[in-house]
Structure 1
Amino acid sequence: MTDRVSPRQEQVLTSVLVTGQRPSRLQRQGRYTRESMRHPGKMLPAIASQVISAFTEPGDLVIDPMCGIGTTLVEAIHLGRDAAGVEYEPEFVHLTVGNLRHAHAQGATGTPQVLCGDARNIAAICAPLRGTAALALTSPPYGSYTHGHVLSGRDNGGGSVTKRHHRYSTDRGNLAHRSLDALLEGFGQILAGTSTLLRPAGALAVTVRPIRVKGELIDLPGQIIETAAGHGLVLTGRYAALLAGLRDRGLVSRASFFQMLETGRARDKGIPACVTAHEDLLILQRAADLPGGGR
């Protein structure tokens, strides 16, 4: 963790965020609509709520430029913050609206808005919000397919293990379909546009993990840091947000069936693969907002 975060943030966030104590399914149970569970790439609610609590105050505005089913927005309005999100896929916008209505029915007090559009144009889409957000929180897509959900033999009458809800998007215009270089270029545009919506000293938080491309482990967090720097954004904090549970000084894996399967296959080939136990939480700020212009 660097020394540029505020004293309040240092008091709230430790270098490791204990965000995986409950499985993702239980974190969302009753808090999100059953329909929205089919989204294949959801942020952990505990990550969103801890980050929002650390970097904002009640009444502040929180933005997610790639909001998916609206996890950032839902957790923000439950915490009394206002929220705005942009989502490329109309189906996911529908799911976000359902989750926001559900949150208000449960007593959430923040005011949300969600827009359907390409986040690469977020500065224009959300122009009225320019310079007003205390925090932006998001995560990049990891590809057009994810592990999704599993139907085992127990679930399908003794048949083979199959996936469901694993396709992120069928729209070729979605960044999830692009090559890694194109993904980074597009995500850089999103970061740059989102930064214009931040108020002075506002924070842009990205949750991201390394990925494998054709068997090679790619330092996606490091590449996003470099991409952000090319758009005038400086890394001011880096944390580990646990996806695993913490029990008796050890980790309890929350890895999916397919992640465990693929990790085992990689090890059989001599690749020292491990299941994912955490995501990097990157805190970025505009260089111009920092003492000395970020130098």
Structure 2
Amino acid sequence: MTTHPQPVPGTLPVPATLASLPTSVWVTAQKDARNQRRDRYTPASATHPAKMLPAIAAHAITTYTTPGQLVLDPMCGIGTTLVEAIHHGRDAAGIELEGRWTATAKRNLTLAHTQGATGRATIHTGDARHAHTLLGPEHHGQVQLLLTSPPYGASVHGRVNATRDTHRSGINKFDTTYGTNPANLAHAPTDALLDAFTAILTSCLPLLAPGAHVAVTARPWRHHGELVDLPAAVIAAGQNAGLTPVERCVALLAGVRDGHLTARPSFFQLKNVRTARAAGVPMHLIVHEDVLILRAPHSLPSRATPPSAVTVEATTS
């Protein structure tokens, strides 16, 4: 059994670190991302620049919830969390800032229902920093799992056509942006992104059931050669919002074959590693994504006078 230092009454909690948390490994890339989404998501889903891996969402949902419980993704993108939830008999609620992705998520949910998904889902278009006002009172205190992923650095986004695809020299990069809304956190500098993520988690607190789990997928990225430690920052944001870190899960982005890892890197990962090595920097491929598990307090505060928010709602059931 792993124990952690307990705070002395009247003092601040001891800050958690990745090294201080129990760790488990999820085998979530036996199929590559394209085959995980094949026939389960609409073709338009491929245009989103940073999608959650369906197997990661499915593993979190089946581990931390039971059928009939409610799953929330306050930055749901194309709706991966919602789709996997309703396929596994859970209900789901999502918030997405960009109406384009709300529409894509709704089409993915419709497809899931035609394939026999039994859960119900609701999607709201709006800013997740006002999550407690975007979802109706029937959702307050009902969410058993919040599963989401904050935006990553721009260097890991998008798709490419190489010379063999276009028959022209050079590389054509496309599907690289979330949208044009200036409030989109993908456009924010790292410090502002993490402050906003803390605000999102804080706003979601009234929606969580006492003791609910919060699962956040994150991986480090490099900005001008410097490593941005997003997993550690997510833990800090969660603690600032009043959540308690309880586990670090290593979700593999590589297949396991005969005891060895088969890496599934993106074009940009390969390019960055090759460039770094050519410059004498011993960089290696990242073949996992951290899933940070936190828990809500068993006694949650209510928000008597939430700030107003403007939302356009799209619902599927």
TM-score, normalised to structure 2, is 0.85
Name the CA distance, whole Å, in 1 between partners of 2:171 and 2:142: 48
Pick aligned residue for 1:84 from 93, 114, 128: 93
Equivalent position of 1:241 in the other structure: 251
- Range 26-35 or range 227-236, more displaced: 227-236
Name the CA distance, whole Å, in 2 between partners of 1:49 and 1:93: 20
- Give how far 1:264 is off: 0.9
Matched, 1:180 2:201: no
Name the SS for the 1:246 alignment partner: strand
Name the CA distance, whole Å, in 2 between partners of 1:134 and 1:98: 25
Equivalent position of 2:130 in the other structure: 121
Name the CA distance, whole Å, in 2 between partners of 1:132 and 1:17: 27
Equivalent position of 1:138 in the other structure: 148
Pick aligned residue for 1:281 from 291, 303, 313: 291
Distance 1:3 1:91, change over 3 A: farther
Equivalent position of 1:165 in the other structure: 175
Matched, 1:102 2:116: no
User: Given that residues 210 and 298 in structure 2 are in contact (C-alpha distance below 8 angstroms), is that contact kept between their aligned partners in structure 1?
Assistant: no
Q: Tell me how many residue pairs correspond in the alignment.
A: 282
Equivalent position of 1:192 in the other structure: 202
Name the SS for the 1:154 alignment partner: helix
- Range 232-241 or range 64-73, more displaced: 232-241
Given residue 258 of structure 2, which amino acid in structure 1 is its aligned partner? Answer: D
User: Given that residues 211 and 297 in structure 2 are in contact (C-alpha distance below 8 angstroms), is that contact kept between their aligned partners in structure 1?
Assistant: no
Name the SS for the 1:224 alignment partner: helix
Matched, 1:74 2:113: no
Name the SS for the 1:245 alignment partner: strand
Percent identity between the two aligned chains = 49
Equivalent position of 2:30 in the other structure: 21
Higher normalized contact order (CA 8 Å, seq sep 6+, divided by chain length): 2
- Give how far 1:78 is off: 0.2
Name the CA distance, whole Å, in 2 between partners of 1:269 and 1:289: 53
Deviations 1:87-128 (A, max 9, x none): 001100010001000000000000000000000110111142
- Give how far 1:2 is off: 5.8
Pick aligned residue for 2:214 from 185, 204, 215: 204
User: Given that residues 205 and 284 in structure 1 are in contact (C-alpha distance below 8 angstroms), is that contact kept between their aligned partners in structure 2?
Assistant: yes
Name the CA distance, whole Å, in 1 between partners of 2:203 and 2:244: 15
Q: Which runs of 5+ in 1 are unaligned?
A: 5-12, 291-295
- Range 89-98 or range 194-203, more displaced: 194-203
TM-score, normalised to structure 1, is 0.91
Q: Which runs of 5+ in 2 are unaligned?
A: 5-21, 301-317
What is the CA RMSD across the aligned residues, in angstroms? Answer: 1.9
Distance 1:220 1:131, change over 3 A: same
> Which is greater in Rg?
2
Given residue 133 of structure 2, which amino acid in structure 1 is its aligned partner? Answer: A
Pick aligned residue for 2:277 from 264, 267, 286: 267
